[in-house]
Amino acid sequence: MSDLEAQTREMLQAVSDAADLAALEAVRIAVLGKKGTLTELMKGLGAMSVEERKIKGPVLNGARDQLTAAIAARAQALNATALNARLAQERIDVTLPARPEMRGAIHPVSQVIDEVIAIFGDMGFSVAEGPDIESDFYNFTALNIPPEHPARQMHDTFYFNEKPGGERLLLRTHTSPVQIRSMEKSGPPLRIIAPGRTYRCDSDMTHTPMFHQVEGLVIDETAHMGHLKGCLIEFCKAFFEVDNVRMRFRPSHFPFTEPSAEVDIGCRRRGGELRIGEGEDWLEILGCGMVHPKVLRHGGIDPDKYQGFAFGMGIDRLAMLKYGIPDLRDFFEADLRWLRHYGFAPLDIPSLPGGLSR
Ligand code: PHE
């Protein structure tokens, strides 16, 4: 075996002995670097006779190619080993429960919407939706509030600019338009709730320009006022998680229900505190009544065959009462300290068997 062959073998051995990438790089420099063994040998070619060079040249080039390939192969193998070791070390068990130090929280409004859905879901209601931007027809006319009706002024409506055809869209002032949309879409019998955002130009401790309502609608051939009352009492007991809630049904008027009532919940307001079930104050939380025959007709339902009840509740008001939050405006301030204080754990999903709020 020639000297060169022996040297090449030694160098190849060093390459395969390199235990990591740093060691391999050291071998590469020792062999192919500026002063590397092979580089030095190749420098010698210049001083050789033409004959000698013809023989040694290809041999040296062959050795260099062999070593370059061996180094690349070894680097690849070492990289793969390093990656596998890292993957093994950084392995995450995605089936583990979430880590307790998580920081996000569920806003009381979202929490209350989930609670309301859980309660009515248990009573057989399904969830319906409608758009925030409504037409005059769905928000008013179909609900028996024709143009020039005084109730239109009472709603402090936000209107959009008039369209070329004269139509003016608006931000819905209540969730009641979803009544009509559901009647049109599914027809009777109906048992739906429709939670969502509503808008009125109004702002104080218990009013904000954007707020939340949940609409309820039951249509069949026999539903009556007694069912309405029972349904709402049942809801309030489940929602406030008490056996008895002080409630007051007051006769009232809505163009889309006849007869109509408003419901107040007993509470006490003292200083910055708000308590439910005590005290002499009342907070209005909902309007309700038997669906007006004209409304049924607007929704394509025959009022001689079908009847039913509807209600509209203020979700933010429910949240204030249940969780003792005194000022409604704070709900929408996006103050992190407030959210941490009043927020809910994201993984505690409200359900009747599991508990609504914990
Ligand atoms: N839409 C009424 C409001 O916003 C509430 C309501 C809904 C009343 C359904 C009766 C029936 O005040």
- Using one digit for the tens of pLDDT, what is the confidence trace for 104-122? 889 999 999 999 999 999 9
Separation of CA 95 and ligand 1 centre (Å): 46
77 CA to centre of ligand 1 in angstroms: 72
Rounded to whole angstroms, the Cα distance separating 42 from 355 reads 82
Integer Cα distance of 155 and 143 in angstroms:
13
Which is the closest atom of ligand 1 to the Cα of 143? 1
* Residue 312 identity: G
Residue nearest to atom 4 of ligand 1 (CA): 174
Residue 296 CA to ligand 1 centre (angstroms): 15
| Å from CA of 146 to ligand 1 middle | 16
Mutate to test the pocket of ligand 1, among 134, 174, 284 (most ligand atoms within 8 A of CB): 174
pLDDT of residue 268: 80
Q: The tokens 């029972």 sit on which residue?
A: 230
pLDDT digits (tens, 9 = 90+) for 27-51: 999 998 899 888 988 888 888 888 8
Assigned token pair, 181: 């949309």
- Which DSSP category does 172 fall into? -
Residue 256 C-alpha to ligand 1 middle, in angstroms?
8
* pLDDT score for 154: 65
What three-state secondary structure class fits 25?
helix
Cα distance between residue 75 and residue 79, in whole Å: 6
Give the model's pLDDT for residue 331: 93
Longest CA–CA span in the chain (Å) reads 119
**pLDDT tens digits, one per residue of 126-175:** 999 999 999 999 999 999 998 888 777 766 899 999 999 888 999 999 99
* Atom number, ligand 1, closest to the C-alpha of residue 174: 4
b/e map 292-308, b = 16+ CB within 10 Å: bbbbbebbebeeeebbb
* Alpha carbon distance 110, 343 (integer Å): 10
313 CA: nearest ligand 1 atom: 5
Pair 321, 313: CB distance under 8 Å: no
Q: How confident is the model at residue 102 (pLDDT cuts 50, 70, 90)?
A: low
Residue 172, judged by CB atoms within 10 A of its CB (0-12, 13-18, 19+), counts as buried
Q: How many CA atoms lie within 13 A of 117 on its CB side?
A: 15
| ∠ Cα 299 302 305 (to 5°) | 140
Lining residues, ligand 1, CB within 6 Å: 174, 176, 254, 257, 260, 287-289, 310-312
Among residues 125, 129, 136, which one has the least CA distance to residue 182? 129
Confidence of residue 277 (pLDDT cuts 50, 70, 90): low
| Both tokens assigned to 245 | 């809630």
Give the distance (Å) from ligand 1 centre to CA of residue 289.
8
CB atoms within 10 A of CB 59: 14
Average pLDDT value for the chain: 90
Pick the CATH number of 108-342 from 3.20.20.70, 3.90.180.10, 3.40.50.1820, 3.30.930.10: 3.30.930.10
CA of 213 to the centre of ligand 1 (A): 9
Torsion 58-59-65-69 (CA) sign: positive
Site to probe by mutation for ligand 1, drawn from 254, 260, 316 as the one with most ligand atoms within 8 Å of Cβ, is 254
Instruction: Note the pLDDT tens digit of each residue in 182-203.
Output: 999 999 999 999 999 999 998 8
Question: Torsions phi, psi of 183, nearest 5?
Answer: -60, -45
Q: Where do the DSSP E strands lie in the chain?
A: 126-127, 133-134, 170-171, 190-199, 210-220, 247-254, 257-270, 273-276, 281-291, 307-314
- Look up tokens 């670097």; give the residue: 33
How much is the pLDDT for 228?
A: 97
For the CA of 175, the nearest atom of ligand 1? 1
Q: Whose CA is nearest to atom 12 of ligand 1?
A: 287
* Residue to substitute in 139, 176, 198 for testing ligand 1 pocket (most ligand atoms within 8 angstroms of CB): 176
Atom of ligand 1 nearest to the CA of 217: 9
Residues 306, 217: contact at Cβ < 8 Å?
Answer: no
pLDDT value at residue 156: 87
Report the Cα–Cα distance between both ends of the chain, in Å, rounded: 83
Cα 332 from chain centre: 17
Return the percentage of the chain with pLDDT > 70, whole number: 97
CB 312 within 8 A of CB 213: yes
Rounded to the nearest angstrom, the distance between the alpha carbon of 288 and the centre of ligand 1 is 6
The pTM of the full predicted model, rounded to 2 decimals, is 0.71
Instruction: Quote the pLDDT of residue 301.
Output: 98
CA of 308 to the centre of ligand 1 (A): 14
The whole-number pLDDT of residue 345 equals 85
Contact 130, 194 (CB under 8 A): yes
